[in-house]
Structure 1
Amino acid sequence: METTLLILFIAFLVFFVIQFVYQSFVFTRFSFVQSKKDTPKSIPVSVIVCAKNEFENLKKHLPVLVSQNYPNYELVLIDDASNDETLDLLEEYEKQYSFIKLVKVKNNEAFWGNKKFALTLGIKAAKNEYLLFTDADCCPTSENWISEMTSHFSFKRTIVLGYGAYDKIKGSFLNKIIRYETVLTAIQYFSWAKIGKPYMGVGRNLAYKKSEFFNVNGFINHIRVRSGDDDLFINEAANKSNTAICYNPESFTYSKPKTTYKDWFNQKRRHVSTAKLYKGFDKFQLALFFISQVLCITLAIILLSFQYNWIIVASVLGFRYIFNWIVFGYGAAKLNEKDVIVWYPIFEIILIITQIRVAFTNLIFKPVHWK
């Protein structure tokens, strides 16, 4: 027993060191970075929004999209074979605003229900080289959204990763968990992009040059995967030289989060199903972070239950939480999500359990994707 506990103790310290390396050498690259204000640009931009049965959301969000404080943009609205009043609403807006281009997508037997097919048609229809994406259920936080996102384009920087937040629902514990995960994910992909290893972005707030799309033949390498129009594309197209990040609060977009655990769980199943197609290094670093996180906490609990070197174990675990709290707190503050900081230790456990459930569920049942 003594030998076994010693092995577990050494393993605990190893996984703690791995976690510490992630927090101190990776995540601090975003959390502690100084905010840099780039010069606003007036390059021609095509804002692309793909919608399928989104009448209610579009009715609220289109007024913001058509009133952006930007001198030169077109709004490409894609109706992906909606069967509600979406198309009627989009046609009304097309008549009112000359800078709106409407793309009508009919069901295609080969690509039925595939958002990537609809997006591809919208990208090809866009007249401008610079593209800015958001979803129909998302709303920019300000009239300067386009200006903030496009300010990070340069001769070399042709991909801009933005932050897609979720609305805050007062009194909802699930809402805080969802926003905690969103912040953690953003800190991860922003940090790796700063290091020069961008691996994902979110379609709720993403920009890139059309040439980047065609350089990798669009979504062709993963067209049969229903999700991944954002993260799989970025994983394939982004690199150290061509990627920038944007986290000015005026560049954020907001959307409604899920309101039941079941719906959120199913959403996570769809998101996680694309990670297996990431590049080898990206899958490795994400898996290493998760495994070291799980085993560091699990081994600490086991060692403490046997009171084995409990002072050292408790001290190391306490240091881990304090240090992680600080790093996560600074990152969350940059993203205007300070209220999720308080619950960090509890949310970490809940998210770990949920991720394990998602992994096992996805092994048995195939997740459903685009509407």
Structure 2
Amino acid sequence: MTSLLFQSISITLFLGMMFVISVSNAILMKKISRFEGILHGPLVSVLIPARNEEKNISRCVYSLLNQDYRNLELIVLDDSSSDATLQILESMTSEFSNLRVIKGEALPEGWLGKHWACHQLAREAKGEILLFTDADTVHASSTVSHAIGVMIGEKTDLLTAIVKERTDTLGELITIPFMIHSVFSIFPLAIAYGKRFKSLAVTSGQFMMFRKQSYLSIGGHEAVKDHGVDDISLGRLTKKAGMKWRLYDASDLVECKMYDGFKAAYFGFLKNYFSLFDYRIIPAAFVWSWMLTLDFFPLIVALLFIFGVAIPESAGILSLISLTLS
């Protein structure tokens, strides 16, 4: 019973810390849409790697070509798609003069696929600002103008953003929000925005806006060509170089359909999760076990307490508090 009480105290304290971090992040993670949009500014190159995206590519491209920001080029790389992605893109080029479609080159040794695609896109870009985004995103017409307003106003080298994750099935609803919750409640922006912890950075590949000179100065995607999570690694390199990285909220401007169904969401989550730990099993398993304990232990103890099972009253009360905090 003593160990049960100790466990309840530990979890309550940890969840209390998560609550404080969440409140702090809610204050610091500003919405991009609250910044004044800029309609005329430096050339922005919007860069999209696409592979077998026939279901999504039209909506994504149209949303980006209908931006209110005037000085924009869109480059889409078809990465050897086996579906109709390339044909759809080529049919759109006659409609939009600022759309370029390129075919991906063969993957060199030592590179991961998406990283190589992004490297080729950056090589083709003419803009002073590079916006990397995914083919399964849809952007409000003012997304780029607001983001440029942030980049210029806040003098940011890398602007990344949390977007709205669309979940259409129960399986997606179970898995995808957990990723966002983990970042929002565990990652302390108040500390990350400081200069002391150089590698403390979270970056979303769904929305990465770089100053091109800053991107090139850290080595671009070539510097992370074999890293499991390129976006996280690029964010860390930006901070280590002493440049300004910031995380914003673009959930009211950008929507993403990350995965299709529970199976895709589960395996996609596992891939990204383990790569955060450089594929080291022990630390990854420890953190995973602790997160499961946080989720289920207070619920189990609280239910035992409610149904009159003989446990310390303090443990039951702490578990109820933990559930409230979570």
SS at 1:56 equivalent:
coil
Equivalent residue of 2:151, what SS? coil
CA distance in 1, matches of 2:291, 2:87: 51
Counterpart AA for 2:10: V
The aligned amino acid for 1:152 is V
CA distance in 1, matches of 2:131, 2:236: 17
1:77 alignment partner, SS class: strand
**Aligned partners of 1:295, 1:238: CA distance in 2, in Å?**
31
Structure 1: state its 5+ residue gaps: 325-371
AA of the residue aligned to 1:193 = L
Alignment of 1:173 with 2:170, yes or no, is: yes
Q: Give the superposition deviation at 1:192.
A: 2.9
Consecutive unaligned residues of structure 2, counting only runs of 5 or more, are 194-199
Q: Deviations over 1:71-109 (max 9, x none)?
A: 111111111222333223323333332222333212235
The 1-side partners of 2:291 and 2:176 are apart by 23
Q: Which residue of 1 aligns with 2:15?
A: 19
Amino acid paired to 1:307: A
Shift of the 220–188 alpha-carbon distance from structure 1 to 2, 3 Å rule, reads: farther
In structure 2, distance between residues paired with 1:296 and 1:249:
25
1:307 to 298, 307, 310: 310
SS in structure 2 of the partner of residue 153 of structure 1 = helix
Q: Does 1:91 align with 2:93?
A: no
Give the counterpart letter for 2:324 in structure 1: I
Counterpart residue number, 2:196 = none
TM-score for both structures, normalised by structure 1: 0.71
Letter in 2 for 1:229: D
Matches within 5 A, 1:27-106: 27-32=22-27, 37-41=34-38, 42-106=41-105
Partner secondary structure for residue 178 of structure 2 = helix
**TM value normalised by structure 2:** 0.80
- Cα deviation 1:274-305 (Å, max 9, x = unaligned): 11139xxxx98996696266268538847958
Question: Bigger shift: 202-211 or 241-250?
Answer: 241-250
> Identical aligned pairs, as a percentage?
17
CA-based RMSD: 3.3
Tell me the residue number matched to 2:149: 151
* Contact kept? 1:165, 1:182, Cα under 8 Å: no
Letter in 1 for 2:236: N
Q: 2:310 aligns to what SS in structure 1?
A: coil
Worse overlay, 292-301 or 83-92: 292-301
Contact 2:137 2:257 in 1 (8 A): yes
Q: 1:55·1:89 contact (CA, 8 Å) conserved in 2?
A: yes
Compare 232-241 and 85-94 and name the one that shifted more.
232-241
Residue 67 of structure 1 and its aligned partner are, at CA, apart by: 0.8
Structure 1 residues 109 and 252: alpha-carbon distance in aligned structure 2, compared to 1, 3 A threshold: closer
Identify the residue that residue 230 of structure 2 maps to in structure 1.
229
Cα offset, 1:206, TM superposition:
2.2
